[in-house]
A and B are shown apart, each in its own frame.
Chain A
Amino acid sequence: MRDPSGRRPSEMNEMDENEARRGARAESEADELIDSVARELRRPVAVGGADFTARLMAEVERGPRPGFAPPKRKENAVVRVLEWAARPRTVRMSPLIGLAAAAGIAALAVLATPERVRFVDRGSDTAVVPFNIKVSDPGAPKAAGASDSVEFVLHAPDARSVAVAGDFNDWNATVTPLARRHDGLWVARVPLPAGRYEYTFVVDGATWMPDPAAPAAPAGDFGATNSVLVVGGPR
């Protein structure tokens, strides 16, 4: 019986063996080739001598040569600033500094809060507290009859004259004038003993108006309500 190529079985065996031997030889030769190429690729290549690395780093540090600098992007200062600000950075600080910064931020938040601080007290042993209640420092002895200095302030840039009238000056609209400041504020400092006082501002000698920054007294008997001031005394 002959195979499709026309060979007899005995011829086929010999030929197959020869074919197999040739295949094995080719594979062996291919393996050797691959190995030799791999050896060659792995062989270290000497570049520029022993100081090549040092020379290479020196070039890198020197920066780009003229003519090789990357083209500058045309961007405006605002963009550059925004990019700078947006770049994340690592900030290192001690816990103590961090606490101090947090306390400072908290203090700013408190101070920035609008306060109805109506009066400023200087030069006495009275602690300044919000609103217009002035209470002496309980730890400090207070001389009998000693007064606290109270500052009356009104913002009236268009007024020609401002005075304050109240229980402390017999409701006389002429004896306690306020002095005008450059910023449109009218200011007067009045020493007052401890007690509760009602008062009102008198603008241009004719307009009686309560203090917009002070608590209002209960409904007035003569039209507009008065404002209330409490100056603290010994407990």
Chain B
Amino acid sequence: MLACLALLIAAPAAARAQDGRLAARLDSLTGRQVAELLDAARSEKLPVEPLVDKALEGASKRAPGPRIVDAVRRLSAELAESRRLLGPQATPEEVTAGAHALRANIAPAALKRLYEKRGRATITASLAVYQELVAQKVPADTAAASVLALQQAGVRADRLATFQNDVARDIAVGGEPGMSAAATSGLMAGEQAFADGLQTTAGFVPDNRSGTTRPPKRKP
């Protein structure tokens, strides 16, 4: 009895808060099973908040207990796979984004490469663009290749959103999703390469506010 009390006192405040949220929304059996999954995830240094959110989502949508547990277990496996691919230095946000991308059928090798070649853009923004492309029926391989091309070209995260919108617009007027993504990414990567070339050869420097380049300052 005293040992149990000590364990409760020693538990991290966040874990207690999570348990509190889950206890209020899940039945006891489901709550216990989900709590075990959360403990396992913590021990593997995986982010647990996405798992809690998944359980709460199931509870709000009045899903059966076993279905909630299965959903949490599946997401935990995806987080583990993402961590394995990205490595221990990846942030919890990146691991979570990687797990969602895996759910969206990104090839593990593509995810790993995206992380290795992330350049100026954050992987979270790149993976969000990837998921949106897939949602628009762009083949997973093409979507990953497009985002990787933009990342390697050093396209900024805000321009990734522009790329996404350009592809959506092209698809909306009848463009084939894969071709639209490939063509638009090639065009944007080329533009970025040109801008980089200007910087390298003529001293033009990027204007971070406007996304353009400006000429080098003249010496007085």
Contacts and interface: CB of A to CB of B under 8 A. Distances in A.
Is chain B a partner of chain A in the same complex? yes
Interface of A: 113-116, 127, 129-131, 133, 135, 137-139, 165, 167, 170-173, 195-196, 198, 208, 215-219, 221-223, 226, 228, 230, 232, 235
B100 A171 contact: no
Contacts of A165: 60
Say whether chain B's binding surface is mostly helix, strand, loop, or mixed.
helix
A131 B103 contact: no
B208 A195 contact: no
A196 B63 contact: no
Contact of A138 (B50, B158, B169): B158
A235 B120 contact: yes
Contact of A232 (B60, B96, B105, B125): B125
B155 to A, nearest CB: 12
B122 A235 contact: yes
A131 B160 CA distance: 11
Given A139-B208, A195-B93, A215-B135, A131 B100 contact: no
Contacts of A198: 53, 57
Nearest to A116: B168
A217 B122 CA distance: 20
Contacts of A170: 21, 53, 56
B67 interface: yes
Contacts of B74: 221
A228 to B, nearest CB: 7
Contacts of B161: 129-131, 133, 135
B90 to A, nearest CB: 15
Contact of A221 (B56, B67, B134, B156): B67
A102 B122 CA distance: 37
Interface of B: 21, 50, 53-54, 56-61, 63, 67, 70-71, 74, 93, 96-97, 100, 103-105, 120-122, 124-125, 128-129, 131-132, 134-135, 156-158, 160-162, 164-165, 168-169, 172, 208-209
Contact of B104 (A135, A138, A196, A218): A218
- Which 7 residue pairs spanning A and B have beta carbons closest together? A130-B165, A221-B71, A129-B161, A171-B60, A139-B209, A133-B161, A218-B103
B157 A135 contact: yes
Contact of A171 (B53, B96, B120, B134): B53
A63 to B, nearest CB: 58
7 contacts: A113-B169, A133-B128, A135-B125, A170-B53, A216-B135, A222-B63, A228-B132
Contacts of B57: 167, 171, 198, 221-222, 226
Contacts of B169: 113
A114 B165 CA distance: 11
Nearest to B59: A171
Contacts of A131: 132, 161, 164-165, 168
A169 to B, nearest CB: 9
A216 B71 CA distance: 18
Given A131-B165, A135-B158, A138-B156, 8 more contacts: A115-B165, A116-B165, A129-B161, A130-B161, A133-B161, A135-B161, A171-B57, A235-B121
